[in-house]
Structure 1
Amino acid sequence: MRSSSIRRSAATGALAAAMLLAVTACSSTGSTESAATVAPQVPVASPTNPAGGLAVAQNAKLATSVVTDANGWVLYRFDKDTSAPPASNCIDTCATTWPPEPAASDTQIKGVDANLVGSVKRADGTLQATLGGWPLYRYSGDKTAGDTNGQTVGGVWFVSAPDGTKAGVTASASPTQ
């Protein structure tokens, strides 16, 4: 009986050690890109929580139509990405500030031409939604749905128009749509 008890204690100890190792490995942040793929617990309506859809909304501040997620959070495009072929170049800390809009096979689309909606595989293996070939992002600096605080940040971030071009930007200020 004593031998059985020792084996059970050893097995329990090994299991506890394995669980501790797994938890420690999961909390390692070797790269911001990896950490960004594990969604923290956040309120349902936030710029870092995927909403599962694309919609068109009128934005009074920009005086034009813009693309939002299903909860009304404005989506952006990044001039350092490419649309043909689609490629996302916002990784690591960039993807923390500008969380990629996840692509899903069941994405609900309201007011956006379904032929313009697609996806691109990111360096971390996740799929990101695209519009007109441009990868879509949310902005962590937007505090409420409808905010456009990311518009023109660094001269390379722009709210997405329903056709994937830059919303609220005049042709003279934006030579590369």
Structure 2
Amino acid sequence: MKRFAVVIGTAVLGLTALTACGDDAPAGGTSTTQSTAGQSAEAKLATAKSDKFGDIVVDGAGKTLYVFDKDTANPSKSNCDGECEAKWPVLKAGSAAPQVEGIDASLVGTVTRTDGSKQVTLAGLPLYYFANDAKAGDVNGQAVGGIWWVVGPDGKKITAEKAPGTGETSSYSY
């Protein structure tokens, strides 16, 4: 009976340790959540209205997606690995073509990363999350370092805020 209790206790501790490893906390200690859409069989891209930026691209759970100035679109290439990828998790491509809603499907593709995994692209540019965006609608990654940008449904980075109440854009300061 004691042996059975030890085995069960060990299993519970092991599962607890594995569950704890699933928390992607950045160096600052704040827990982050990455959309499971990027890790499921199918990635999903959609559009959402941002008060600051107009129509932006999000994943299936409404989490904001970003593009990186150091990446290339033609040919598609991601230049964010290691520490960069820890702060800017990639939108991983699933086993099927990404689902799209409000985005021209011909603009959506994938790129093979240096580790062999597939990342979703829009107009050739790889798509990322920002680790400090905790919930749908957050745009905390906008203009970080002057090289990270929310992206519009046309695949172009958005570098300017909408002027309040006009729908027009104004200069974005970062």
TM-score, normalised to structure 1, is 0.69
1:68 to 58, 70, 82: 58
Q: After TM superposition, list the pairs within 5 Å mapping 1:137-176 onto structure 2.
A: 137-169=128-160
CA contact (8 A) 2:35 2:59 kept: no
Considering only aligned residues, what root-mean-square deviation do their CA atoms show, in Å?
2.6
109 and 47 in structure 1: CA distance in 2 versus 1, 3 angstrom threshold: farther
Counterpart residue type for residue 87 of structure 1: K
CA shift digits 1:22-54 (9 cap, x unpaired): xxxxx9xxxxxxxxxxx8267xxx642331310
Could you report, residue by residue, the CA deviation over 1:111-141 in whole angstroms, capped at 9, with x for unpaired residues?
Answer: 0100000000000100000000000000001
In structure 1, which of residues 80, 85, 95 is the aligned counterpart of residue 75 of structure 2? 85
Deviation string 1:120-176 (CA, Å, 9 cap, x unpaired) is: 0000100000000000000001111110000000000000111111125379979xx
Write the distance in 1 (CA, Å) between the matches of 2:143 and 2:112.
25
Aligned residue in 2 for 1:40: 22
Match of 2:120 in 1: 129
Q: Which amino acid aligns with 1:165?
A: K
Letter of the structure 1 residue corresponding to residue 67 of structure 2: R
Q: Higher strand share goes to which structure?
A: 2
Larger of the two Rg values belongs to structure: 1
Instruction: Letter of the 1:138 partner, please give it.
Output: Y
- Counterpart in 2 of 1:19? none
8 Å contact kept, 2:68–2:148 = yes
Q: Distance in 2 between matches of 1:145 and 1:129?
A: 19
State the one-letter code of the partner of 2:107.
L
Would the alpha carbon gap of residues 173 and 82 (structure 1) be closer, same or farther in structure 2, given more than 3 Å must change?
farther
Deviation at 1:106, TM superposition (A): 3.8
Q: Does 1:120 align with 2:111?
A: yes
- Counterpart CA distance in 2 for 1:147 and 1:91 is 23
Which structure 2 segments of 5+ residues have no match?
A: 1-17, 25-31, 38-42, 162-168
Q: Verify the 8 A CA contact 1:141 1:150 in the aligned structure 2.
A: yes
Give yes or no for contact 2:98–2:120 (8 Å, CA) kept in 1.
no
Is the CA contact (8 Å cut-off) linking 2:66 and 2:148 kept in structure 1?
yes
CA offset digits 1:57-98 (Å, max 9, x no partner): 111122x10000000000000000000000000000100110
1:98 aligns with 2:88: yes
SS at match of 1:96: helix
The sequence identity of aligned pairs, in percent, is: 44
